[in-house]
Structure 1
Amino acid sequence: MSRTLIRELPGVVGQEVTVYGWVNTLRLQRKLQFVIVRDHTGLVQVTNKRTDVPGELEELIEHGMPPESAVKITGVVIAAENVKLGGLEIAPTAIEVVSRSETVPIDRQTGIDQRLDWRFLDVRQPERQLLFKVQTTVEEALREYAYAQGCTEMHTPKLMGTASESGSEVFSVKYFDRTAYLAQSPQFYKQMAIAGGIDKVFEIGPVFRAEPSYTSRHATEFTGLDVEIAWIDGVEDVMRFEEQMLTLVLRRVKERHGDEIAAVFGIEVVVPETAFPRYTMAEAIELLRAQGWDPQREKDDLDPEGERMIAALAKEQHGSEFVFVTEFPVSVRPFYHLRPEQDPTVTASFDLLWKGIEITTGAQREHRYEVLVKQAEEKGMNLEPLTSYTDCFRFGTPPHGGFGAGLNRMLMVLLGLDSIREAMFLFRGPNRLTP
């Protein structure tokens, strides 16, 4: 008999079916045995009536299929209004224990560190699997928007001969007789594609950051979304691209998973209205200081408290969960960010905050070779190891800009999770390389 998914059972009441799944829970009463079986589509109650002389089926349920055992259960689907799980149950005629489980070392109340030790067991729970359903929809919608805008999807190398960007926070690996580095960003490669005449590019792929950070929002390996678009008139073109992309993403998530997210996580998925509010960094600092924001030392950037406060202001003043902070000072941005002629002390750059957490950094890039080299020299950089990157600007590169976002951090914010560790399948951090 072929497999029937649990979500399909309402359509086969009165018929004999076989469901495959795991034993979720057992309730063994004097007259009845209840087995809650779980597959990736839901839960169903299996009800077996005891007999005066226990039969093989009764003995198997009693002693041979503890919770989390993998089973195949054949039986008749019966409508039962008193059953909370969908108003139906299965009266079993045959049970096959495919794989008997040992005592499970975690449950829903177990702390995150121990659950990560047994992540394959942890993600068996429907509420954990919802994360990956949402992630799939998010990635599909990101691609849907990018393709509609004429973007080309790229896959850039993750092994690099020189450290990307500033050269800090990179993992070095042995590469035959020399040292290679794991890419901390596809930034230079996507700009290379722009110089190659591809107008709009994007990538969804792994990113590596050797940050000894133990915060709830950092990981040493995560999935990044990177976009770069050419022939822009200014950084506003980049911000409009992202806000429209995220609006489509959240619309798709709400359509497909909104009710389930509300039930499981208690979160309402809000589809934003564009355009998102914007504050320059100077405006943000002035507003925050007026509210008593006082970082430990003089800064040209926002600390996490400042990010939360400016996001709260955007919510209060504009009703938006999103806010762009723009025009970051030159001192806190990389050498390749463009500096506007009207104020060369700042960059044509932005961060996007969502519910008080930074999810994106973006900018218009400096596309003029001589200016790019000068800005690198001002920051004391040796450009010799980056010749393959800087050469891209010697042969006519159009004005362009883009952004990078962490997909796992976006999922953490979207679902209201306490930590990025819960927003990915297998977390990697300074103290975790297994499982």
Structure 2
Amino acid sequence: MIERTRIADLAALPDGPVTVGGWVETVRDQKKVQFVVLRDETGAVQLVNPAVRAVDDDADDSARAALTTTETISGLAHGTFLVAQGTLKHDERVKLGGIEVKIDRLDVVTAALPETPIADDSSLDKRLDWRFLDLRNRKQNLVFRIQTTLEHAFRTYWVERDFIEIHTPKLMASASESRAELFELPYFDTTAYLAQSPQNFKQMAQPAGFGAVFEIADAFRADPSFTSRHATEFTSVDAEMSWVESHEDVMAMHEELLVAGITAVQAKYGVEISEVFGFELQVPTAPFPRIPLAEARRIVAEGGYDIPRADGDLDPEGERRISAYAKEQFGSDFVFVTDYDATIRPYYHMRHEDDPTLTKSYDLIYNGTEISTGAQREHRVDVLTQQAVEKGLDPAELEWYLDFFRYGVPPHGGFGMGLARVLMLMLGQSSIREVTYLFRGPTRLLP
């Protein structure tokens, strides 16, 4: 490993010799002194160099080295990667962290081209074309540190409750959700499909006796949408657990998980989020409000909006309105919309005993956008088969899935949640493209 001090660790050190490395962010080349703002993966620091513009013919080696350093700094391009040795000094007058490093030696490791292809005001598409440069800025760096903390908190919550982490196949022989959104590809002498969801496989863990499982992994949807919240490849956060009495048990676990995740983010990055994103991240309080879909339709209609969807499901505007209602009435950024019509839910969602037109399911809406769907699953194979037939499906094509329920399976339920949507809404961003490391959509396969 190259020996250096991370910039974030400099403030805790006493004055003295240090080695730092990173990318050149700005250069101020004044007549008598030069300043370089250097950024590594943890922060930025100011480097200082007394400028030597010329030396006599009989100058010693140290004077010539000082001239070389001055000339090198004058020619630095934004993004050049360098390593600097120097003397750390604490000085409260320095605006950037109250510290600076006086340069003793500077080595350019890789020089950047002088013309940077993107700027702060470049379009999102342009920035995505040059994503590796876009990711250098502090804001983007923070996004993925937050993502790491959020995922770690999720895993910690589950592991402490004896959930088992699984890794399900992403190559499938048939659809897990809708055939209309499948990517298909040649697979030896047959056809395979990229997994839309781990749904079938996480349910398989229930008759396998795992009790409760989770997975954070890629999923794929051949959806030609260009909205701010859709992608063709995304990270899905999934959980499934046995011994549920209803979808209420799933919702209770789901809200606890999110409270744990956002609490961890706030504790580690709350101050920096305020500095970079300009707002204070609020940790939600459980339980989140629950509103049945029929009541949500009524509330939205009474607010003057007619949901245009023929099936009666909430559209994006309906989600925004019911979210605003939950914020106003309950002070919550989250709201569960529950008890969806059986006509707009998959065949494997369990239906209410006293009203089989409704399912024991929910959507979770966060700051105006749906982030998750969850439900209690139907575990009785005869009922499951009948519901599949009602949906126009051929049970013969579902035999491998229906077998899960023929050898003893406990009542179970779970959810799937889009990680990028959670991050987008948590950080007040306008698109999941901003919080996805490398976005994939209908027209983007590069970089």
Task: Identify if the C-alpha distance between structure 1 residues 372 and 2 changes in structure 2 by more than 3 Å, giving closer, same or farther.
Answer: same
Deviations 1:213-253, CA, capped at 9 Å, x for gaps: 00000000010011101011111000000011111111111
Counterpart position of 1:314: 326
Counterpart position of 2:106: 95
**Cα distance in structure 1, aligned partners of 2:391 and 2:398:** 15
**Cα distance in structure 2, aligned partners of 1:337 and 1:283:** 20
Pair 1:211 & 2:223 matched: yes
Q: Which amino acid aligns with 2:33?
A: L
Counterpart position of 1:19: 20
Q: CA deviation at 1:212?
A: 0.4
Deviations 1:160-188, CA, capped at 9 Å, x for gaps: 01121232201001111211000000000
Which stretch has the larger CA shift, 331-340 or 47-56? 47-56
**Cα distance in structure 2, aligned partners of 1:46 and 1:314:** 50
Do the aligned residues in 1 keep the contact of 2:153 with 2:261 (CA within 8 Å)? yes
Task: Identify if the C-alpha distance between structure 1 residues 392 and 297 changes in structure 2 by more than 3 Å, giving closer, same or farther.
Answer: closer
| Residue identity (%) | 50
Counterpart position of 1:154: 166
Counterpart position of 1:301: 313
Q: Which amino acid aligns with 2:384?
A: L
**Cα distance in structure 2, aligned partners of 1:96 and 1:122:** 24
Counterpart position of 1:83: 94
Pair 1:237 & 2:252 matched: no
Task: Identify if the C-alpha distance between structure 1 residues 182 and 297 changes in structure 2 by more than 3 Å, giving closer, same or farther.
Answer: closer
Counterpart position of 1:3: 4
Counterpart position of 1:137: 149
Counterpart position of 1:39: 40
Deviations 1:325-381, CA, capped at 9 Å, x for gaps: 001001110000001110000100000000111011000000000000000001111
Q: Which amino acid aligns with 1:194?
A: Q
Counterpart position of 1:119: 131
Counterpart position of 2:185: 173
Pair 1:60 & 2:72 matched: yes
**Cα distance in structure 2, aligned partners of 1:19 and 1:58:** 18
**Cα distance in structure 1, aligned partners of 2:437 and 2:415:** 24
Q: Which amino acid aligns with 2:40?
A: D
Q: CA deviation at 1:13?
A: 3.8
Do the aligned residues in 2 keep the contact of 1:38 with 1:44 (CA within 8 Å)? yes
Residue of 351, 355, 367 corresponding to 2:363:
351
Do the aligned residues in 2 keep the contact of 1:284 with 1:310 (CA within 8 Å)? yes
Deviations 1:180-223, CA, capped at 9 Å, x for gaps: 00000000000011111110011000010110000000000010
Q: CA deviation at 1:298?
A: 3.9
Q: Which amino acid aligns with 2:357?
A: T
Deviations 1:98-142, CA, capped at 9 Å, x for gaps: 000012101222111000001011111111100110000010000
Deviations 1:383-429, CA, capped at 9 Å, x for gaps: 32322111111111111100000011100001111100011100000
Q: Which amino acid aligns with 2:291?
A: Y
Counterpart position of 2:119: 107
Structure 2 counterpart SS, 1:45: strand
**Cα distance in structure 1, aligned partners of 2:11 and 2:435:** 32
Do the aligned residues in 1 keep the contact of 2:350 with 2:375 (CA within 8 Å)? yes
**Cα distance in structure 1, aligned partners of 2:432 and 2:164:** 29
**Cα distance in structure 1, aligned partners of 2:41 and 2:336:** 38
Structure 1 counterpart SS, 2:179: coil
**Cα distance in structure 2, aligned partners of 1:298 and 1:119:** 40
The gaps in structure 2 that reach 5 residues or longer are: 56-66
Structure 2 counterpart SS, 1:124: coil
Do the aligned residues in 1 keep the contact of 2:309 with 2:315 (CA within 8 Å)? no
Do the aligned residues in 1 keep the contact of 2:235 with 2:418 (CA within 8 Å)? yes
Counterpart position of 1:265: 277
Which stretch has the larger CA shift, 72-81 or 115-124? 72-81
Q: Which amino acid aligns with 1:307?
A: E
**Cα distance in structure 2, aligned partners of 1:257 and 1:307:** 29
Do the aligned residues in 2 keep the contact of 1:284 with 1:325 (CA within 8 Å)? yes
- TM-score, normalised on structure 2? 0.95
Structure 1 counterpart SS, 2:279: coil
Which stretch has the larger CA shift, 214-223 or 23-32? 23-32
**Cα distance in structure 1, aligned partners of 2:308 and 2:167:** 41
Q: CA deviation at 1:268?
A: 2.0
**Cα distance in structure 2, aligned partners of 1:6 and 1:150:** 38
What value does the CA root-mean-square deviation take over the aligned residues?
Answer: 1.2
Q: CA deviation at 1:2?
A: 2.6
Q: CA deviation at 1:12?
A: 3.2
Q: Which amino acid aligns with 1:97?
A: V
Do the aligned residues in 1 keep the contact of 2:311 with 2:344 (CA within 8 Å)? no
Which stretch has the larger CA shift, 158-167 or 305-314? 158-167
Counterpart position of 1:362: 374
Q: Which amino acid aligns with 1:335?
A: Y
**Cα distance in structure 2, aligned partners of 1:81 and 1:273:** 40
Structure 1 counterpart SS, 2:205: helix
Counterpart position of 1:385: 397
Q: CA deviation at 1:52?
A: 5.0
Do the aligned residues in 2 keep the contact of 1:166 with 1:334 (CA within 8 Å)? no
Q: Which runs of 4+ in 1 moved over 4 A?
A: none
Do the aligned residues in 2 keep the contact of 1:277 with 1:323 (CA within 8 Å)? yes
**Cα distance in structure 2, aligned partners of 1:373 and 1:30:** 81
Which stretch has the larger CA shift, 206-215 or 27-36? 27-36
Deviations 1:66-108, CA, capped at 9 Å, x for gaps: 1101100011112233210111211111110000001210122
Q: Which amino acid aligns with 1:35?
A: V
Q: CA deviation at 1:51?
A: 2.6
- TM-score, normalised on structure 1? 0.98
